[in-house]
Chain A
Amino acid sequence: MAARAYLCMVKVSARTVLTYRANFVLGLFAVFFQLLAMLYVWRLLLESGKDFGGYTWPQMKAYLLVAFVTSSLVSAYGDFRMAARIRDGLVSLDLVKPVTYQTARFAETVGRAALELAVTFAVAGSIALVTGGIPVPDLPQLLLFAVSIAAVVPLKFLVVYLSTLLCFWTQNYMGVAWARTSLVALLSGSLIPLVLLPSWLQTTAMLLPFASLTATPAAIYLGQATGGEALGLLLTQAGWVTVLWVAGRLVWRFAVRQLTVHGG
């Protein structure tokens, strides 16, 4: 019964994205141009002949394209909407619905993510073709990669969700969103591969959930992690999803007590 409601929310949010497709596409454009810039910079750097973590140009292309997909996921507007509803007190209307708030927001995220995945994979694939191809792993490795990408959806949702819940205390989301975006870009490896970071920062990233967001799918795609090591990475992703899911429920319980909806 409730499952049907969440399923319906998945569909509805996908439809909402389609209603605002211009907004959706423009949002992707921003990440897309960033990707182009990165591709050019890295080609120049690698042509200089210096060694950057042992990456060849095709491998670096593959890395950047994977990073493009993972950083485009769960980015479209859902968090801003949630933040605005918390700030304006509209969240009180969500509270009189017979659904779990966190699961409902996750359902909406899944709906959007389905479209985000379709579009970003199409874009990444076209870029790979136009720029002369990228290495493609064998089928078992490709399946592991698919699982790791799928795990990014709940994981990134939870990182975004937890930071958005801060709105119950801060009443302002911009600062929170910027801080989170920078932190995720650096520590997930979506800005530059983690191997190129100073070792203490690498360790920090590996100890936190962030590395699971980009470094893990990229390592699996590039075959840097295979077999047992790859499975270990997937388990780490699953572990973080579990931990953060529970954390989300706990933080929510405190956050909702902060709710002060004004009114006569």
Chain B
Amino acid sequence: MPAATMAVMPVIEARELTKVFRRPDKSEGLRGSLRHLVTRRYTTTSAVDHVSLSIEPGEAVAYVGPNGAGKSTTVKLLSGILVPTSGEVVVGGIVPHRDRIANARQVGVLFGQRTQLWWDLPVRESLALLRDMYGIGPADYRAQLARFDEVLELGELLPVTARKLSLGQRMRADLAAALLHRPGIVYLDEPTIGLDIAVKDRVRDFLRRLVADGTTLILTTHDLGDIEDVCRRIAIIDGGRIIYDGGLDGVKDTFARERCMHVRLTTDVDPQSVAALLPDAEVTPGGSPGEFTIRFDRFVLTAGQVIATASSLAEIDDLLIDEPAIEDVVRKVYSGELELEPAEDGVGAGVGA
């Protein structure tokens, strides 16, 4: 069955992909600059360090990491902008940096911080230029504009010169520009950066539809809302290396070990007595008597143990367990305090061996 073969054939395949940048190492001042002319010193940094990724058609992958972790560099390697120092990359059967133009036809790229619209032209003209570049027929072009108008309210932006657009408007127009040729593979590098909530929601809604239509998506973002809304798989990169690659739920299971339970008992119980029974948990009194918040490591205590302990003191009136947020995990990665020891039952943890 063709569907079965499709499922095992990755559309994006990166193996041990590495990009080393060489920067001139100049010491301070004129003297440093002069010295650099004579003895050249360079610092090399591996922006992307032996990254392997395998993405199947129709997958939506969140690509997450702190500033300078190598996210954009990876996207640039995948789109053929940069030539890798070592390693291999194949996208839709094409080596991007070797066959840049063929790759450009199958891929849509958006760099949220930069516009690909022609700065001095009305949006309509930029799109018409792209239409001609990609050889899009008039009927298809009209259909695409109608689609973008429906989701992104593009119509009102068409007559506006690109440099006069607000950030949110620009992003909507840029999304249309990146997706006009119906690319099967889309890289979005921070598509919601600097947008207000209303526009953000609209963009996310649009991305969800895109994924539902079967587009393969790599989404680079700092906005964790984007991830939970759109992606089911997450790859976390730090210092150029992929430190996790797997399901969004898996990352929570693996790294979000802390659970938080809010308990209300029918009678007033001293918080100290609860804490005494649960020495491994952190117990804080709630707003009213008999209310507690209990934080515990789910690999030390189970929720059942916590509930059993609480109900041994008094009857439980109400119980609420906070959903572990992907945000907590990613925040830990960003602040560099993520414990890189996945639990035994962790799903697909791609910790660098």
Contact = CB atoms under 8 A, between A and B. Distances in A.
Interface of A: 1-2, 4-5, 7-9, 12, 15-16, 19-20, 90, 92-93, 95-100, 256-257, 259-264
B133 A98 contact: yes
B104 A16 contact: no
A100 B104 CA distance: 11
B203 to A, nearest CB: 19
Given A16-B121, A264-B66, A5 B76 contact: no
Contact of A264 (B68, B82, B107): B68
Contacts of A100: 101
A264 B133 contact: no
Contacts of A8: 128-129, 132-133
A113 to B, nearest CB: 18
Contact of A5 (B80, B115, B132): B132
Contact of B125 (A4, A7, A12, A90): A12
Given A12-B129, A264-B69, A98 B114 contact: no
A7 B116 CA distance: 19
Interface of B: 21-23, 65-73, 76, 79-83, 100-102, 104-105, 107, 109, 111, 114-116, 118, 120-121, 125, 128-129, 132-135
6 contacts: A5-B133, A8-B128, A12-B125, A16-B121, A95-B104, A257-B83
Q: Which of B23, B65, B69, B73 has the most CB of A within 10 A?
A: B73
A97 B23 CA distance: 28
A196 to B, nearest CB: 38
Contact of B21 (A7, A256, A260): A260
Given A5-B129, A96-B104, A99-B133, 10 more contacts: A12-B118, A20-B120, A95-B80, A97-B116, A256-B83, A260-B23, A263-B76, A264-B65, A264-B70, A264-B72
A4 B132 contact: yes
B132 A98 contact: no
Given A5-B129, A12-B121, A264-B71, A98 B76 contact: no
Would you list the 4 A-B pairs with minimal beta carbon distance, nearest first? Answer: A1-B135, A263-B72, A264-B67, A98-B104
A88 to B, nearest CB: 9
A98 B105 contact: yes
Contacts of A259: 81-83
